[in-house]
């Protein structure tokens, strides 16, 4: 689906596939977005899922033991959890050791490194298994320059975390390519990197170099080429606004697509903070984004309507489009509303 700029190609990992998805003891779907992302965008590479006692989240894939997954062809266990702080829980260690003993490598996108867990490192060395930490940024990332680059860029931004920025970027990249438009998906998070085969984990980059990382990810390109850049966090999130701002400045998007979820009232992981309105979030993204691209504009709204029936979603999308005066669509549902969103982005 995507070709990578030269710098990103140098950093591409070849991951052992197919995957068994590890859900840990997750009880909130928003914290299993890596597993859901791989299920939805790399389904042919996933044989099933494994969960610890107490987990209530499921991807709907077959629930397998490590031995069963290995017998079905799985070559690695992918930690499908993206929890607050990116930690490896103590009660995951025994199952992870069992996975290595069953013949699986382990792939992780957590901030915590698999290789920093002594028993995992020792077991992997003894069994000649691989511990692969995806959340490792490239070396020698430059500081951002703010220099205007050739080509066109679209960045997905959001009112909160884990509500559809990656899905929206993937869907828009596919939609552009279906129209014969030269475009690429640029991954900025661990799940996107696992799907695309390369990218830069923006939230693992030292803060001073984050804008430079975004510039490196979407370098100069042909005039008609579009880079569709996966957004991270939210400018109004109390914990993750920093990575969002660096990505906005470094990406220099010509177009932003605002992502929101119907019915979400409070910030993920921070229930004391209300989710800001779509209008407020568009406004702050355009004002701050204009620092490196004065021509920045909003192409429309991506609305996550996964909790609605098809008829309910259609009514909500139509009502929000009329209220906001711009195209609104759920990219996963597609249809005429999504085609209007694509047209607005390309206008």
- How far, CA to CA in Å, does 196 sit from each of 3, 13, 112, 189? 9, 10, 22, 10
Which pLDDT score is estimated for 7?
46
pLDDT tier, 232 (very low <50, low <70, confident <90, very high otherwise): very high
DSSP one-letter string for 5-58: -HHHHTT-----SSEEEE-TT---GGGGHHHHHHHHHSGGGEEEEE--TT----
Average of per-residue pLDDT across 5-17 = 56
Closest CA to 82 of 261, 233, 196: 233
Judge whether residue 284 has pLDDT over 60: yes
pLDDT tens string 45-70 = 999 999 999 999 999 999 999 999 99
Judge whether residue 14 has pLDDT over 70: no
pLDDT tier, 272 (very low <50, low <70, confident <90, very high otherwise): very high
pLDDT tens string 296-333 = 999 999 999 999 999 999 999 999 999 999 999 999 99
pLDDT tier, 6 (very low <50, low <70, confident <90, very high otherwise): very low
Which pLDDT score is estimated for 12?
42
Closest CA to 252 of 153, 142, 143, 151: 153
Cβ-Cβ contacts under 8 Å for 96 (sequence gap 6 or more): 22, 77, 88, 106, 114, 117, 120
Average of per-residue pLDDT across 123-135 = 95
Average of per-residue pLDDT across 207-221 = 95
End-to-end Cα distance, the chain: 23
- What's the rounded Cα separation, in Å, for the pair 187 and 166? 8
Matching residue, tokens 């298994």: 129
pLDDT tier, 8 (very low <50, low <70, confident <90, very high otherwise): very low
pLDDT tens string 137-189 = 888 899 999 999 999 999 999 999 989 999 999 999 999 999 999 999 999 99
Which pLDDT score is estimated for 335?
96
Average of per-residue pLDDT across 262-269 = 92
- What's the rounded Cα separation, in Å, for the pair 111 and 41? 23
19: left (phi over 0), alpha (psi -120 to 50) or beta: beta
- What's the rounded Cα separation, in Å, for the pair 63 and 47? 9
Q: Which pTM does this prediction carry?
A: 0.84
Average pLDDT of every residue of the chain: 93
Average of per-residue pLDDT across 78-89 = 88
Domains defined along the chain, listed by start: 17-129 (3.40.50.720), 152-346 (3.40.50.300)
Residue pair 299/327 in contact (Cβ under 8 Å)? The answer is yes
Closest CA to 205 of 184, 226, 229, 232: 232
Helices 310-324 and 278-289 sit at what angle, rounded to 10 degrees?
50
Which pLDDT score is estimated for 30?
82
pLDDT tier, 223 (very low <50, low <70, confident <90, very high otherwise): very high
């Amino acid at each position: 689906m995507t070709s990578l700029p030269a710098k990103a190609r140098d950093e591409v990992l070849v991951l052992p596939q197919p995957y068994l998805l590890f859900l840990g003891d997750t009880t909130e779907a928003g914290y299993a977005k890596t597993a859901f992302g791989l299920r939805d965008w790399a389904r042919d590479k996933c044989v099933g899922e494994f969960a610890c006692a107490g987990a209530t989240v499921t991807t709907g894939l077959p629930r397998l033991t490590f031995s069963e997954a290995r017998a079905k062809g799985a070559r690695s266990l992918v930690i499908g959890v993206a929890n607050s702080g990116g930690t490896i829980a103590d009660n995951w260690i025994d199952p992870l050791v069992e996975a290595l003993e069953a013949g699986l490598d382990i792939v992780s996108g957590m901030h915590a490194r698999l290789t920093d867990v002594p028993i995992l490192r020792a077991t992997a060395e003894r069994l000649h298994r691989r511990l692969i930490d995806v959340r490792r940024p490239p070396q020698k990332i430059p500081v951002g320059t703010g220099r205007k680059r050739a080509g066109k860029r679209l960045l997905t931004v959001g009112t909160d975390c884990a509500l559809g920025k990656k899905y929206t970027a993937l869907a828009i990249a596919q939609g552009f390519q279906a129209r014969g438009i030269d475009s690429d998906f640029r991954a900025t998070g661990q799940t996107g990197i696992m799907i695309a085969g390369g990218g830069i984990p923006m939230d693992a980059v030292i803060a001073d170099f984050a804008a430079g990382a975004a510039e490196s990810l979407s370098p100069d390109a042909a005039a008609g080429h579009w880079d569709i850049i996966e957004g991270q966090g939210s400018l109004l999130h109390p914990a993750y606004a920093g990575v969002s701002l660096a990505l906005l400045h470094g990406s220099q998007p010509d177009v932003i697509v605002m992502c929101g979820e119907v019915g979400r009232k409070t910030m993920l992981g921070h229930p004391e903070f209300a989710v800001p309105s779509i209008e407020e979030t568009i406004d702050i993204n355009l004002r701050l984004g204009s620092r490196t691209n004065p021509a920045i504009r909003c192409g429309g709204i991506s609305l996550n309507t996964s909790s609605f029936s098809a008829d309910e979603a259609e009514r909500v999308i139509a009502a929000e489009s009329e209220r906001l005066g711009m195209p609104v669509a759920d990219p996963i549902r597609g249809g005429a509303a999504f085609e209007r969103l694509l047209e607005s982005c390309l206008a």
